Chains A and B, each alone.
Chain A
Amino acid sequence: MQKKTWLIIALMLVIPGLLFTVGCQKKAVSQAKAPAPAPAPVEQEPAPKPVEKPPSDWNISQNNIYFEFDKSTLTPMAQDTLMRHAAWLRENTSATVTIEGHCDERGTNEYNLALGDRRADSAKAFLVDLGIASSRLTTISYGEERPLCMEQTEECWAKNRRGHFVVN
C-alpha cells in the first residue's frame, strides 16, 4: 500500500516534469526558428536602435521594411521597424506618409505590381492598427519597376523586396 502511494507520488512529480521538459524543448525550437524567416538582408538593415532613443531622431524614410520572396506578410523585423515609424508619426502629428511597395525582379511585372500593392497595404494596415490615422497614410505600388539594386543575387533581390516610406 505504502509502495503504491509512493509510486503515485513519484509519477505525479515525474510526469509534469516530463511535460515541462517537452514544453521547454518546443519553446527552444520555436525560439531558434523565429529569426530564420527574417530575410537575408538582415546585415544591410541598420541594427535595431536602443528603445530609449527618442522617436524624433528616427528617420522614417531611411528605414525600409523588407519582405520575404513572394510574400506580403510582415516579418518580426518589419513589425519592429513599423513600431518605430508609428512612434515617430505619433510625435510628428502633422506628417503624412506615402508607403511604397516594391518587389524584386523575379516574377513578371503584372503580378509584381499587385504584390507591391499588397506589401504597401499590409504596412499601412499595421500602422493603422497602432493608432495612426489612415488619412495620414497613402500607398503606391511600383512592383519591380524601381529596383534599388541591379545585380542577380539573393542579397540584391532581398534589398529590392521593400516597403519604403516617403514623408510628403
Chain B
Amino acid sequence: MRRRIKLYILIMSVTLLGPSLSWAEYDVIDITKPFLRKIPLAVPLFKNAVGSGEEKQSSQEAADFLSDSLDFTGYFKLLDRGAFLFDPETNGVTETDLNFQNWTVVGAELLVTGYYRLTGDDITIELRLFDTFKARRVLGKKYTGKVANQRDIILRFCTEVIKYLTGGEGIFGSEIAFVSNGTGNKEIYISAFDGYNPRRLTTNNAITLFPAWSSDGKWLAFTSYKAGNPDLYIRDLAKAQESKVSKQGINITPAWAPGKFELAATLSFSGDQEIYLLTGSGKIIKRLTKSRGIDVTPTWSPDGKKIAFVSNRSGNAQIYIKDLATGRVNRLTYEGQKNTQPSWSPRGDKIAYTSQMDGEHHIFTIGTDGQNPVQLTYEPRDNESPSWSPDGSLIVFSSDREGPNRIYVMTAFGTDQRRLLVLAGEQTNPKWSMNHQNN
C-alpha cells in the first residue's frame, strides 16, 4: 500500500510516445493454450543517454529485469543477446533507426528497445515494443522517476506488453503469501510475484498457516495457534489490525468470496467440521455444508456462485462442488485415493488440486465438469498447495523435490517448473494474490 502511493508520486509522467496505437485490435497470445508455442522475443541492452559507468550498470539491470520478468510469464522465448546484429550504443531505438531484418533474421518476432538516462537519483526510460515482421511499433512509453523505483517502472511496462498481447492485466502487480518456518515457528511471509523481497508478515511465535488474500489485497486471513487454539485471524494489512474467530475446535482454511468482504472457512464448534460463510470481521452469516465428517478447504468460483471443497463423506477425501443458490452438491474427483487442496482458476474453467498417489503428492488440474484430469507434476516426492496466478496462466505450489519444501511456479499446463526463492527453513502453503500493486 505504502509502495503504491510512493510510486504515484515518483513516476511523474507516463507518456505514450508518438501517435496512439490501437493495441487491443487482436490478441497475439491465445490464452487458452499459450504455451504450445513461445513467442521469440529480443530484449537487447538499452541505449544510454549519458554513458557513465553508473548509468550503464543501472541500465543493464533494467534491461535484464525486463527480460527476466517477461520470461517469467512463460509466454516468451528470450533470445540470446550474443546473436544480435545490433549495438545499442551506436544503433538507434526507434522504428526509423531499426533495421527490422536484423531482428527477423535472428528469429525475433517481438523486440523491446530502451533508451535510458540516469541523472543523480532520477531516471528516464523510454521503452518500445516492436512487431518485427510487421516492422512497426506497437507500444511506446516514457517513464520518469527515482532509480529506487526502477523495478516498479519496468513492471509497469511489462504489464503494458502483456495487456497488448493477451488483453489481460497479467501478474506483475501481484504478490505471493506463504508459510515459512525459518524462525523455528511457522509464520506468514509475503513476496512479490517473482519471489522478490520476501518479508515476514506475522510474529506470532506459534504455528501459523493457510494465508488467504481478499480480492482487493487489503486483507489477509490465516490460522494461528498464537492463543493456544487453532483460531482464525483476519488482518487489515494497512493498519496491521486483526479480528479473530476463536471457537471451540478448529477455525481453519479461510477463503475470501470474490470481490466481497466475506469469507468461507471451516469451523468445528458444532462437533463436526463444516464450512461456514463469515463476514469480513468474522461473524457467522450461515453454514454452507451439512454432512457428517470432514468438510474443509473451500475455494470460490470466480463469479462467487459456487464453492469447491474437500469432504470425506464418501469414505476418503475427495473434492466436491456446491452450487450456493440451488444447494446442489456434485462430486468432482473420482480418480486417486485422496484429493485435497482445491484451487479454482480465476478463468473459471479448471480446478487445481493435490492428489495422493503411491506415497507421493502431485498437482493436477481438472475441468469444473469433472472432465480431463491432468497430472502437472511428476518430480518426487510431495508437490502440494496449488494456487493460481491472478490471470490463471501460472500456478504456485510447494515441493520437496530438492529436499526441504520450497515454493515453485509452473505454467497452468505444468511446463517451466522453477523455484521461486530460497529462504531459511521450509516454505509451504503459498497463495497468489490478485493484482493489487502498480496497475
Seen from chain A, the residues whose Cβ lies within 8 Å of a Cβ on chain B are: 70, 106-111, 113-115, 117-118, 121, 139-142, 145
Of B250, B266, B338, B341, chain A has the most CB atoms within 10 Å of the CB of: B250
Q: CB-CB contacts of B240-251 with A at 8 A, as 1s and 0s?
A: 000000000110
- From B15-23, B65-73, B354-362, B369-377, the one touching the partner chain is B354-362
Q: Whole-angstrom distance between the alpha carbons of A140 and B223 in the complex?
A: 14
- Whether A106 lies near B359 (C-beta < 8 A) is yes
* B333 adjacent to chain A (CB < 8 Å): no
CB-CB < 8 A to A113: which residues of B?
Answer: 209, 223, 230, 250, 252, 296
Contact check, B230 vs A108: say whether CB atoms are below 8 A apart.
no
Q: Tell me whether B341 and A110 are in contact (CB under 8 A).
A: yes
Query: Which B residues form the contact surface with A (CB < 8 A)?
Result: 186, 207, 209-210, 223, 228-230, 249-250, 252-253, 266, 268, 271, 273, 293-294, 296-297, 310, 312, 316-317, 338, 340-341, 354, 356, 359, 361, 384-385, 428-429
The minimal Cβ–Cβ distance linking A41 to chain B, given in whole angstroms, is 18
Q: Give the chain B neighbours of A115 by CB distance below 8 A.
A: 294
With a CB–CB cut-off of 8 A, which chain B residues contact A109? 209, 428-429
Residue ID in chain B nearest A139 by CB atoms: B249
- Given A108-B340, A115-B294, residue A141 in contact with residue B310 (CB < 8 A): no
The distance from the CB of A153 to the nearest CB of chain B, in whole angstroms, is 11
Determine the residue in chain A with the shortest Cβ distance to B249. Answer: A117
Give, as a whole number of angstroms, the nearest-CB distance from A124 to chain B: 10
Are B207 and A70 in contact, with the CB atoms below 8 A?
A: no
A118 to B354, CA, bound (A): 22
With contacts A141-B230, A145-B207 taken as known, whether A111 is within 8 angstroms of B340 at the C-beta atoms is yes
* Cα separation A149 to B249 with both chains bound (whole Å): 25
In the bound complex, what is the Cα–Cα distance between A109 and B356 (angstroms)? 13
Are A141's CB and B294's CB within 8 A? Answer: no
Beta-carbon contact of A108 and B354 below 8 Å? yes
Q: A107 contacts B338, CB within 8 Å?
A: yes
Task: Flag if B310 contacts A110 (CB, 8 Å).
Answer: yes
Tell me whether B252 and A114 are in contact (CB under 8 A): yes
Contacts of B340 in A (CB 8 A): 107-108, 110-111
* Cross-interface CB contact of B268 among A70, A110, A111, A114, cutoff 8 Å: A114
Q: How far is the CA of A142 from the CA of B225 in the complex (A)?
A: 9
26 A-B pairs in the complex with CB atoms less than 8 angstroms apart: A70-B312, A70-B338, A107-B317, A107-B338, A107-B356, A108-B340, A108-B354, A108-B361, A108-B385, A110-B210, A110-B341, A111-B310, A113-B223, A113-B230, A113-B252, A113-B296, A114-B296, A117-B273, A118-B273, A121-B249, A121-B271, A140-B230, A141-B230, A141-B249, A141-B250, A145-B209
